[in-house]
A and B are shown apart, each in its own frame.
Chain A
Amino acid sequence: MLRYDSTSSSAGSSSGSLSSSSSSSKPPQQDIDGLLAGAGYKVRSSELRQVAQRLERLETAMGNSPADFSQLASDAILYNPSDLVCWVDSLLTEFAEPPPTCSSDFIVDPVNNQTVVNSAWTTAEPHTPQVHQNITYDEQQSLDNQLTVVTAMEEDSGIRLVHMLMTCAECVQSGDLSLATSLIGDMQGLLTHVNTVCGIGKVAGHFIDALSRRIFQGMGGGSVNGGSAFENEILHHHFYEACPYLKFAHFTANQAILEAFDGHDCVHVVDFNLMHGLQWPALIQALALRPGGPPLLRLTGIGPPSPDGRDSLREIGLRLAELARSVNVRFAFRGVAASRLEDVKPWMLQVNPKEAVAVNSIMQLHRLLGSEQTRNSPIDTVLSWIRGLNPKIMTVVEQEANHNQPGFLDRFTEALYYYSTMFDSLEACRVQPEKALAEIYIQREIGNVVSCEGSARVERHEPLAKWRRRLSGAGFRALHLGSNAFKQASMLLTLFSAEGYSVEENEGCLSLGWHSRPLIAASAWQAVPAWDNHMSSS
Chain B
Amino acid sequence: MARSNEVKLNECKMAVSLNTWVLISNFKLAYNLLRRPDGTFNRHLAEFLDRKVPANANPVDGVFSFDVLIDRGTSLLSRIYRPATAEEPQPNIAELEKLVTAEVVPVIIFFHGGSFAHSSANSAIYDTLCRRLVSLCKAVVVSVNYRRAPENRYPCAYDDGWTALKWVNSRPWLQSQKDSKVHIYLAGDSSGGNIAHHVALRAIESGIDVLGNILLNPMFGGQERTESEKRLDGKYCVTLRDRDWYWRAYLPEGEDRDHPACNPFGPNGRSLEGIKFPKSLVVVAGLHLIQDWQLAYVEGLKKAGQEVKLLYMEQATIGFFLLPNSNHFHTVTDEISKFVSSDCIKTIGERIMQCIGALLCVDYVCLFKCFLG
Binding site for B on A (CB under 8 A): 33, 35-36, 38-41, 43, 48-49, 51-52, 55-56, 58-60, 62-64, 66-67, 69-74, 78, 81-82, 84, 88, 91, 110-111, 120-121, 123-128, 130, 133, 142, 145-153, 159, 162-163, 165-166, 413, 416-417, 483, 486-487, 490-491, 499-500, 502-505, 515-518
Docked-complex contact B26 and A55, CB < 8 angstroms: yes
| Pick from B44, B70, B72, B122: contact of A491, CB under 8 Å | B44
| Pick from B3, B17, B23, B67: contact of A150, CB under 8 Å | B67
- B239-274 interface mask toward A, CB cutoff 8 Å, 1 = contact, 0 = none? 000000000000000000000000000000000000
Docked-complex contact A517 and B54, CB < 8 angstroms: yes
Chain A residues near B226 (CB, 8 Å)? none
Docked-complex contact B327 and A128, CB < 8 angstroms: yes
**Closest chain A CB from B265 CB (angstroms):** 32
Q: List 16 A-B contacts (CB under 8 A).
A: A38-B124, A39-B124, A39-B128, A55-B29, A78-B45, A145-B58, A148-B67, A149-B55, A150-B69, A151-B96, A166-B92, A413-B93, A490-B47, A500-B75, A515-B67, A517-B54
| Pick from A39, A43, A73, A147: contact of B34, CB under 8 Å | A73
Chain B residues near A487 (CB, 8 Å)? 44-45, 48
- B41-58 interface mask toward A, CB cutoff 8 Å, 1 = contact, 0 = none? 010110111011111111
Docked-complex contact B36 and A70, CB < 8 angstroms: yes
Chain B residues near A133 (CB, 8 Å)? 325
Known: A59-B29, A499-B75. A166 touches B93 (CB 8 A): yes
Known: A40-B52, A55-B22. A162 touches B93 (CB 8 A): yes
B19 proximal to A (CB < 8 A): yes
Known: A130-B325, A517-B67. A121 touches B54 (CB 8 A): no
| Pick from B10, B67, B330: contact of A516, CB under 8 Å | B67
B343 proximal to A (CB < 8 A): no
| Pick from B15, B33, B44, B68: contact of A151, CB under 8 Å | B68
Q: Which 3 residue pairs are nearest across A and B when measured between Cβ atoms?
A: A40-B51, A40-B124, A73-B33
Chain A residues near B54 (CB, 8 Å)? 146, 148, 516-518
Docked-complex contact A91 and B327, CB < 8 angstroms: no
Once the chains are docked, how many angstroms separate the CA of A67 from the CA of B330?
38
Docked-complex contact A516 and B326, CB < 8 angstroms: no
Docked-complex contact B2 and A63, CB < 8 angstroms: yes
Size class of the contact patch on chain B: 35 or more
Chain B residues near A128 (CB, 8 Å)? 325-327, 330
Chain B residues near A518 (CB, 8 Å)? 54
Chain B residues near A130 (CB, 8 Å)? 325
Once the chains are docked, how many angstroms separate the CA of A165 from the CA of B94?
9
**Closest chain A CB from B142 CB (angstroms):** 13
Once the chains are docked, how many angstroms separate the CA of A56 from the CA of B29?
10
Chain B residues near A147 (CB, 8 Å)? 56-58, 93
Docked-complex contact B9 and A56, CB < 8 angstroms: yes
Known: A33-B19, A73-B42, A163-B95. A149 touches B37 (CB 8 A): no
Known: A51-B22, A121-B13, A516-B54. A486 touches B94 (CB 8 A): no
Docked-complex contact B32 and A66, CB < 8 angstroms: yes
| Pick from A43, A73, A78, A149: contact of B22, CB under 8 Å | A43
Chain B residue nearest in CB terms to A63 = B5
Once the chains are docked, how many angstroms separate the CA of A40 from the CA of B324?
15
**Closest chain A CB from B7 CB (angstroms):** 11
Once the chains are docked, how many angstroms separate the CA of A197 from the CA of B265?
50
Once the chains are docked, how many angstroms separate the CA of A148 from the CA of B80?
12
B35 proximal to A (CB < 8 A): yes
Once the chains are docked, how many angstroms separate the CA of A84 from the CA of B19?
12
Once the chains are docked, how many angstroms separate the CA of A500 from the CA of B37?
29
**Closest chain B CB from A120 CB (angstroms):** 4
Chain A residues near B25 (CB, 8 Å)? 52, 55-56, 59
| Pick from A64, A126, A490, A491: contact of B326, CB under 8 Å | A126
Chain B residue nearest in CB terms to A34 = B19
Docked-complex contact A52 and B37, CB < 8 angstroms: no
Once the chains are docked, how many angstroms separate the CA of A373 from the CA of B23?
42
B204 proximal to A (CB < 8 A): no
Chain A CB within 10 A, most for which of B6, B36, B37: B6
Known: A58-B29, A73-B34, A73-B45. A48 touches B5 (CB 8 A): no
Docked-complex contact B51 and A149, CB < 8 angstroms: no
| Pick from A52, A55, A70, A82: contact of B35, CB under 8 Å | A70
Docked-complex contact A35 and B18, CB < 8 angstroms: no
Docked-complex contact A69 and B32, CB < 8 angstroms: yes
Chain A residues near B123 (CB, 8 Å)? 40
Docked-complex contact B48 and A81, CB < 8 angstroms: yes
Chain B residue nearest in CB terms to A62 = B32
Once the chains are docked, how many angstroms separate the CA of A74 from the CA of B19?
28
Known: A111-B3, A146-B54, A151-B96. A124 touches B66 (CB 8 A): no
Docked-complex contact B325 and A40, CB < 8 angstroms: no
Chain A residues near B360 (CB, 8 Å)? none
Docked-complex contact B67 and A486, CB < 8 angstroms: no
B344 proximal to A (CB < 8 A): no
Chain A residues near B58 (CB, 8 Å)? 145-147
Once the chains are docked, how many angstroms separate the CA of A124 from the CA of B22?
14
B21 proximal to A (CB < 8 A): yes
Chain B residues near A416 (CB, 8 Å)? 93
Chain A residues near B32 (CB, 8 Å)? 62, 66, 69-70
B370 proximal to A (CB < 8 A): no
Docked-complex contact B5 and A60, CB < 8 angstroms: yes
Given contacts A67-B37, A150-B69, A505-B49, 7 further A-B contacts (CB under 8 A): A36-B22, A40-B125, A84-B26, A133-B325, A163-B94, A516-B122, A518-B54
Chain B residues near A126 (CB, 8 Å)? 17, 325-327
Chain A residues near B1 (CB, 8 Å)? 63-64
B314 proximal to A (CB < 8 A): no
Docked-complex contact B94 and A504, CB < 8 angstroms: no
B350 proximal to A (CB < 8 A): no
Docked-complex contact A62 and B326, CB < 8 angstroms: no
Chain B residue nearest in CB terms to A151 = B68
Once the chains are docked, how many angstroms separate the CA of A421 from the CA of B51?
22
B102 proximal to A (CB < 8 A): no
Known: A38-B124, A70-B42, A491-B44. A146 touches B21 (CB 8 A): no
Chain A residue nearest in CB terms to B124 = A40
Chain A residue nearest in CB terms to B319 = A39
- B73-95 interface mask toward A, CB cutoff 8 Å, 1 = contact, 0 = none? 01101010000000000001111
- B118-144 interface mask toward A, CB cutoff 8 Å, 1 = contact, 0 = none? 000111110010000000000000000
| Pick from A71, A91, A145, A503: contact of B56, CB under 8 Å | A145
Chain B CB within 10 A, most for which of A60, A153, A413, A516: A516
Once the chains are docked, how many angstroms separate the CA of A73 from the CA of B29?
11
Chain B residues near A517 (CB, 8 Å)? 54-55, 67
Chain B residues near A123 (CB, 8 Å)? 14
Chain B residue nearest in CB terms to A38 = B128
Docked-complex contact B325 and A49, CB < 8 angstroms: no
Chain B residue nearest in CB terms to A73 = B33
Known: A66-B32, A70-B35, A504-B52. A159 touches B22 (CB 8 A): no
B322 proximal to A (CB < 8 A): yes
